[in-house]
Structures are given as C-alpha cells and as structure tokens.
Amino acid sequence: MFAKQHTPTPTPRKSFSGRGREASYSPVRVDKKEFGPATNPLKVMVVGGLEEVGRNMTIIEYRKEIIIIDMGLQFPEEDMPGIDYIIPDVTYLKDKKDWVKGVIITHGHYDHIGGIPHIMGEIGNPPMFMGKMTAGLVRKRHQEYKTAPALKIKEIDETSSVKLGSSFQIDFLRVNHSIPDCFAIIVKTALGTIIHTGDFKIDFSPVNDKPADLNRIAQLGAQGVLMLMSDSTDSTHPGYQISESAIGEELGKLFDKIEGRIIIGTFASQLSRVQKIFELAEKYGRRVNLQGRSMNSNVEVAHQIGYLKFDPRILVEDKDLNRLSDNKVIIIGTGAQGEANAFLNRVVNNEHRTVSLKQGDTVLFSSSIIPGNERSVQNIMDMLVRQGAKIINYRMLDIHAGGHAKEEDLKLMMRLIKPEYFMPIEGNHYMLKAHADLAEIVGIPKDHIFVADNGQVVSFHKAVDNKIVGTLTKEKIPSAYVMVDGLGVGDVSEIVLRDRRMMADDGMIVIIATIDNKTGTIIGNPDLISRGFVYMKGNRDLIEKTRMKVKKIVKDKNPMTPADDDYIKNKIRNDIGQFLFNATKRRPMVLPVVIKV
C-alpha cells in the first residue's frame, strides 16, 4: 500500500461540544485511548447516493452511537408521475433515536439538504453542523415547513472541531464546488479516520471562496486514513475541471460584443457564477433582473451573509424592466434544464407576466445538460430561436464549469489522501465503477475498493494481529425510495405509481351501474365516463357495446341471491378490461362503481 509519511504538527482549531456550544481554541490531538477499546465493528451505511445522483445520506455507526452526513433529496424520474421528490429511508434509525449524536451537512445543494425538514423529526432532532452559507439556505427552506421541529444548527468552518458522543471526533476540510462553504468531513474513530469528500472539485482560483488546502489534504494522508469516500459524479469525464474564474473571463468577452438584452439560464445554486455576472453587469453598465423563486431566495440569503457582494441598486424589478434600453439589461433565471415551470419555459410559452422574447435577445445556457433532460433542453432551444433569440451554450464556448472533480482531480485526491480503503459515492453504479477503476490505477488494491449498493453495510473490525480489516458485507439496511407528494411523505407506494403510469399510458374508464339491492338486477343503463382513453362522442359504437356488455354481466348474476358488490365489481373490471383490450389493444384502468337502491 501507500508509504506513510512523517506526521506534521496539528494546526489549532475551534472546538465544539456535541450540543454545539463553542469552546476555546485548542490543538486537536486525537488519542485512540480517548475512544475506549476498539472491540465493536465500525459500520458505514449509505442509504442514498450509491445508485442515483441525489438523495445523499451516509450513516456511520460505532458502539451504539451514530452520526449522519447529509440528508438530501432526489428529483423524480420520468416514471414517477405526480411525485415532487424522493428522500432517504430512515427506517433503520427510528428505534435508534438516542444513538444519533449529530448530523453534518457538507454543503447547501438540495441533493444534500432537501430531506432535512422531513427527516429530522423522525430521528429525534439531533444537533446539526454546517457552514454559514449552508445554514442560511437550510434555515430559509425550513421556514416553509411549519410542523417541522426547530433545528439546532451550529455553524462551522475549516478550523472547527466537534466531539459527538464518545466515539466520533469531527474535523472539517474546506473544498470547492459550485456553491460557497463546502466541506469534506473528517471522522476520527478508535479504528481509524474516514474522510467523506462531499461534492468537490479542485479549483485554484475559485470565485468568492478559498481554494482547497492541498497541504492539509496531504497532511491528512500522512497521518493515515482508513477509508476515503469520494464524489463520483464526474468520474467518467477525463481531464481536470475548469476553474470558475475562467468562466468569468469567457462571459466577459461575450458581454463586450452583445448589443441587446442578455438572458442567462443557470442553476439557482451556482452562486459563484451569479457573482461573476454581477461584476460584469457593473463593468458593462447593465442592470440585473432575477427570475425564479429559488434564484431570488438564494441570492437574498448569500447577500445577507456576505457571500455575494454587489450594490443592491444594480437590481431591477420586473415592473421597471421594460423602461430600460435593451443594452442595459441582464436577466438571470432558472430553466436551463427545460424544467416545466421554470422561468425560461414560461417565457417561450408566453406565460411570463413581464418578459417576452424579441429580436436581438441573446440567451446563454450557462450550465451543462443533466442526463435525461436532453430532449427538454432541445425543445426549449428550438422555441427560443423561432422567437428571434440567439443561443450560446457551453458546447460553443466555455461558459459553464462543473462543480465536480473529473478523472485527474479524483486521482490527485486519492494520491494525497492515500487511504487504506476506498469507497466511491454520489453517483449511478457506472459512475461508481469508473471511480473504482481510477482507484486501482493509483494503486489501491482491488479488494480494498468497495462499490456498494444503497443500504449495503461496510464493516471494519480489529483482527487478531491488531490490523484493521474492512469488509463489504452482504448485510443491508432499508434504503427504499420515500416519495414526497404534496403534504404526503411515504404514502405513495409502487402500486399507486403503477396506477398513475397506467392512467398516463392508456387512460381510464369509469363504469357506474345502479342495481336493485335485493335482486341484483340492473336499473336503467350504466353510465360511462372516459378520461384519456377514447373520446366518447367520437366512439359511440364502442361505448354502446361496452354499456351492453356491462348490462349482460350484471344480468347473468343469479337473481335469487342478494347483490354482492365485490363480485360484480371484479366481474365488470375483468370482463370489460378484456373486452376493451380486444377492441382497441389498449388497457385502460377500469373503475367500476356500484350503486344499490
């Protein structure tokens, strides 16, 4: 394995107790004796983020004490109609509330904070630790959930140190991403140190943020790291991630040439990008109009705490937008992924109250396309061009930098940390596998690389020779999708989704039959209602045949026995379903309603 280097002297850090009260500055000297005998296994369980991009949540357990890293959401897949988002399954924690000593959040993106309002009350509302920017975003989102418990948040930075329970010492390492205040989490235990990178990239000239401290990363590697858990989102992309500062330079060249309005579609969380746009707006004498609830909310939070620096007078409200000449306007909005209700989509569909496209507009797509959104983005680009706008996207010029480390950055992180064991996280399985291949290239043995599924338990224990041995076990804890639909959390099952998919595919037909309560004979003709199946006025023949078929089904029942609702409903559902399939080769959902009089 990797050769160990001389251990440097630790740097002073702020120290917090598990209750979040700040103590005096003192050097962190973690002595394994402090944690007691290392007889129990150290368990690492990722319940979201190993089979998808999103829903990130990691549980680390030792001696009946637990810490949690991140608590994110995942946006619904195409086959989940009506679902707002998905959060991690915390079934494993519900009878272990007193074990949970704290929650650490790596950064403020929704795939890392989105589950907080739904989950914290379920696990006993333990103390939370996060950076200043992240805390602002979490508090802002939490205001929308009136029944959720008040959060116990303690803000940290790279000098902080937190003792949680008797098993965990937590330190923080600042890393770069597409939002300020991102931290890798250093978890020190009696069996060794685990480092969780969170989302990161290596950027030597970030915007409004400090660059990652590569010297400290190397020091951590020299001290010895049991396992590295590292971001895999861009593990299939060769090379190095481009710096956010370079994007600002490219945008500046464009602003110098564009005469009309500049409309920029980007992620609301790309606050470094937004900062560069504000600076360029001031340089070129333009005013900025913000569009989209999330864009306005994030900018407000970041400006209040000093992470976005601009003169508020540069902002222009919707009502004053059309009073400015076109060469004095920049509009920043959401919708660069083609989202249905976002700003750009409302503009191209002429549904926006203030903004409509005109000749001379230039629309910049300052974000890469998330896999699966290609068709939506293509459609919106088509409509923009048809309405007279000119389009510039990241494929034409470097006007977007990703927030995730690419292959060479990932290899550099592994070479600096030199972990005994490696676990790729935060990505689909093929991304994890690609990251595992990179780990082999830098010299980590294949049997020390754990490509796990959601819920699969990674266990570390002390062997007879006192060596710490890690295993990817076959044990799994619950990690199912918990779907949020409106105010409902977890009440939409796979059966409900199947019914929604069926209705979306072939529609539904409601059959209302009125029958005599004593004899079971039908009274009058059944009523039929079709939704998404056939247009009734244009298919009178099929509707009449269906009606007669229902009458026959009810009439064939023995008139000497009382009406049996379940029997009649099942008979109508099965027989009419088969009849309609034979007639149309479609399988609408058949909903029988029996009214007894």
CA 21 to chain centroid, in Å, comes to: 30
Output 41-44 pairs: Cβ under 8 A, ≥24 positions apart. 41/459, 41/460, 41/461, 42/189, 42/190, 42/191, 42/192, 42/459, 42/460, 42/461, 43/457, 43/458, 43/459, 43/460, 44/194, 44/227, 44/229, 44/423, 44/457, 44/458, 44/459, 44/460
Reading the block at residue 545, the tokens are: 């045949």
Can you spell out the DSSP letters for 323-339? TS-GGGEEEEES-TT--
Q: Check 199, 231, 234, 506 and give the catalytic one.
A: 231
| CA dist., res. 180 & res. 253, Å (int) | 25
In 3D, which of 464, 576, 447, 457 has the Cα closest to residue 509?
576
- Structure token pair of residue 448: 């020390």
Residue 479: DSSP 8-state:
-
Question: Rounded distance, CA 422 to CA 451, Å?
Answer: 9
Measured distance CA(433)–CA(50) in Å, rounded: 11
Q: Are 550 and 579 in contact (CB under 8 A)?
A: no
Catalytic pick among 107, 237, 400, 404? 404
* Dihedral sign (CA 458, 460, 461, 467): positive
Confirm if 244 and 312 have CB atoms less than 8 A apart: no
334, 263 Cβ separation under 8 angstroms: no
Decide if 527 is catalytic. no
Active site residue 404: yes
Residues with catalytic annotation?
Answer: 231, 404
